[in-house]
Structure 1
Amino acid sequence: MQLAELNIGRLLAPTDDPRVKDFMDNLDRINGLGKRMPGFVWMHEGSGEPGTGNTENAFGDNPQMVFNLTVWEDLPSLEVFVYKTVHAKFMDRKAEWFEVLGEQHFVMWWIEQGHQPTREEALVRLDDLRTNGPSDRAFGWDEIRVKSLKS
């Protein structure tokens, strides 16, 4: 099994606004780093236009709602990328670029090797976590850490 993750956010401003310039200017750098990490498997891609990441694939009725959807060989690989690379410095700055969402915006779940989840599939997993709480179908960082401590 491999680990899929979805992270959604609502930008504070349109992608061409100076308020989110630092974020937009570094998307290719951070995504490129992720793709070179040991354990990286796959990323849902946008158009490939430089500096857009996956932001042109906004969803809902708000063009500032963006997402990141990736697959990793295992949890430790994802954790190293998220918390032990320059990615962590950009996470620390998320309040500069993203609105605080009043509900769960991140979900992980296990998938069969070779499967590439769709945005719609990922949003169903996020809704499952929001509605039913953590389970084997959908979970977050806290749940997986607690489970690891109990093992």
Structure 2
Amino acid sequence: MSKHMLVHLNVVRPLGPFSADHPNARFFFGELPKIFARAKADDGLFWHNHGARMPDGSYGDMNDLLGLQTERTEDNFHILTMAGWRDAQAMHRFAHRDALHRAGMKTLRDWVDRSEGATMVMWWAERGTRVALEDGWDRLQALRKNGATPEAFTLQSRFDPPGD
């Protein structure tokens, strides 16, 4: 068994002014508990964390994110999802093969601002490590700036785990 796990950070930045009244916002916040429950039941997932990166660069947890549902702003926050997986196959199976998750991604695809570049980054970490959202954000910025490296890569251009 590998001493490493695959960590991923996925970033969603809603397009346009954010409002809880927007149908996509209602759908997103309604689906989150179902997706979280399915993720917790997945045997390839070690842990997951969710939160937001605010326009001022500060970070908030899920309670902070849910509290933003009534605010409107032109400079939207980023919704962050980070998880530690057994391997790339486990992450891919959940993210792209789980019917509920896949349907949610399809429903929300036109609501996501992709103008900043890559929205997902992956890297290897020692099993048992809990990674801060800030660390994931920094790795995403490195991927956007430098392209895929062993420290920050994509599912399409991934690297093997460090030698065990």
Place the TM-score, normalised by the shorter chain, in its bin: 0.7 to 0.9
Q: Which of 14, 17, 24 in structure 1 is aligned with 2:21?
A: 17
Q: Which of 70, 85, 103 in structure 1 is aligned with 2:98?
A: 85
1:6 equivalent to 2:1? Answer: no
In 1: Cα distance, 2:155 partner to 2:66 partner? 24
Shift, 1:96, TM fit: 4.0
Change in 2 beyond 3 A, CA 1:123/1:102: closer
In 2: Cα distance, 1:56 partner to 1:43 partner? 20
Shift, 1:133, TM fit: 1.1
SS of the residue aligned with 1:141?
Answer: coil
Change in 2 beyond 3 A, CA 1:45/1:95: closer
Report the residue type matching 1:83 in the other structure.
H
CA contact (8 A) 1:9 1:101 kept: no
In 2: Cα distance, 1:31 partner to 1:125 partner? 23
CA contact (8 A) 2:88 2:155 kept: no
In 1: Cα distance, 2:90 partner to 2:128 partner? 17
CA contact (8 A) 2:50 2:80 kept: no
TM-score between the two structures when normalised by the length of structure 2: 0.74
TM-score between the two structures when normalised by the length of structure 1: 0.80
SS of the residue aligned with 1:92?
Answer: helix
Q: Which of 130, 134, 140 in structure 2 is aligned with 1:120?
A: 134
Report the residue type matching 2:92 in the other structure.
E
Shift, 1:95, TM fit: 2.5
Shift, 1:141, TM fit: 1.4
Change in 2 beyond 3 A, CA 1:11/1:114: same
2:33 alignment partner in structure 1: 28
Shift, 1:44, TM fit: 1.3
1:143 equivalent to 2:157? Answer: yes
State the identity as a percent.
24
Shift, 1:30, TM fit: 0.9
2:120 alignment partner in structure 1: 106
Shift, 1:14, TM fit: 2.8
Where does structure 1 differ by over 6 angstroms across 4 or more consecutive aligned residues?
none
In 2: Cα distance, 1:45 partner to 1:95 partner? 19
Q: Which of 35, 42, 51 in structure 1 is aligned with 2:47?
A: 42
Unpaired runs of at least 5, structure 1: none
Report the residue type matching 1:71 in the other structure.
G
